Structure 1
């Protein structure tokens, strides 16, 4: 997998990280950063404790992602309301240095498997936060039409098919919540999908690449105008 295929952000599906891990297992016997015979993405934990997750969030997450995971920085993703399996997987990927970000790698290195599960339980239970301001009603309406119905003539699949009509994702499928993410952050993620040549056939991110490929810049801006303000 080319380097560009690894430079995805929070909205990318977890399976995109599984490919280099599985390849490393096949070639080297264990994934990068794992103890002998271990898998750094396989977490072992007991029943998640959201109260402990709240304490951890206040001490290690809040300064960047905001209280309760409701980021007000347009370049930092919101974690509030994110599906728990997605949060756990991404933290494990940061800790294993399979996902780039010096800051997040340092943060994740300080977390145990149980800490990650507790944080995921906490964030998933938080309200997603207010919509971002959208002043162009026509652009938002166009984005809603693409989100809900896609554009069959161009082979663009409706976002709602995977992310749901509410945009809240599907935990058992590893599909992230994208509701009320900032337009700046969401547009950056869509650009990464569009500019990545291939995800090697890995289903979820490859589906995103295929969906985004026929869409132009105006389409992408319309989509983020809608998803950043879905719940108003």
Structure 2
């Protein structure tokens, strides 16, 4: 049960815009660590230093996520171009062991609040990686239609409503960039949202779950094919 709760929390938390936890992560600025026994997701940092983030990325992140956060492994997420709010929250969730992943939990355990802010600033400034090649043009076209227009007949809302036509997300709303995301990783995340039992009325992740509910496996594969190859 605890593992299930943790898996669902990472999906809900970065998009729970009304939650005090997200406000603490995205708005705190004083250069001091969180107090003992305080909110484990609260980050306190000074002005982010992207140059320091680049050094951290080269030594800590590059092996899995690729140079400048451009992963070439379909199973590892691309971090290049990701909105900083999303990156900060995910690293905080890994560090607090609220998002499952032994590897990422271990990596994040060595990061300070300032390190997390610096990494987020660095990755957000990097160009989104090139499109992944897809061999099924029809599948991609189906995904493009779902992403841009949804499917009103099945009450499926277009992904572009929140993520934007370009898929680049909205930083101040905590909406992730999905443009040219790694295909296997994208499909895995879509499965997690679709299979979640519910988010207790939290609008954004609940919207993801509702949007995906009427979609079948072929639809999810189509969305992953399009998301991973949006921009040439």
TM-score range with shorter-chain normalisation?
A: 0.7 to 0.9
**3-state SS, counterpart of residue 91 of structure 2:** helix
> Is the CA contact (8 Å cut-off) linking 1:13 and 1:174 kept in structure 2?
no
State how far apart, in whole Å, the 1-side matches of 2:18 and 2:91 are: 13
**3-state SS, counterpart of residue 55 of structure 2:** helix
Following superposition, the deviation at residue 4 of structure 1 comes to: 3.5
Counterpart of 2:62?
A: 62
Deviation per residue, 1:188-219 (Å, 9 max, x gap): 11111111111222111111000000001111
TM-score by length of 1: 0.88
Counterpart of 1:30?
A: none
**3-state SS, counterpart of residue 7 of structure 1:** helix
| Residue 47, structure 1, aligned to residue 29, structure 2 | no
State how far apart, in whole Å, the 1-side matches of 2:35 and 2:206 are: 26
Counterpart of 1:35?
A: 36
Following superposition, the deviation at residue 5 of structure 1 comes to: 5.2
Following superposition, the deviation at residue 122 of structure 1 comes to: 0.2
Deviation per residue, 1:145-168 (Å, 9 max, x gap): 110010111110000000000001
**3-state SS, counterpart of residue 123 of structure 2:** helix
| Residue 96, structure 1, aligned to residue 93, structure 2 | no
> Is the CA contact (8 Å cut-off) linking 2:94 and 2:100 kept in structure 1?
yes
State how far apart, in whole Å, the 1-side matches of 2:187 and 2:11 are: 11
> Is the CA contact (8 Å cut-off) linking 2:10 and 2:93 kept in structure 1?
no
State how far apart, in whole Å, the 2-side matches of 1:78 and 1:8 are: 21
> Is the CA contact (8 Å cut-off) linking 2:82 and 2:124 kept in structure 1?
yes
* Structure 2: runs of 5 or more not aligned: 23-33
**3-state SS, counterpart of residue 97 of structure 1:** coil
The change in CA–CA distance for 1:77 and 1:17 in structure 2 (over 3 A counts) is: farther
Following superposition, the deviation at residue 7 of structure 1 comes to: 2.0
TM-score by length of 2: 0.88
Q: State the superposition RMSD in angstroms.
A: 2.4
**Alignment: residue pair count:** 220
> Is the CA contact (8 Å cut-off) linking 1:163 and 1:176 kept in structure 2?
yes
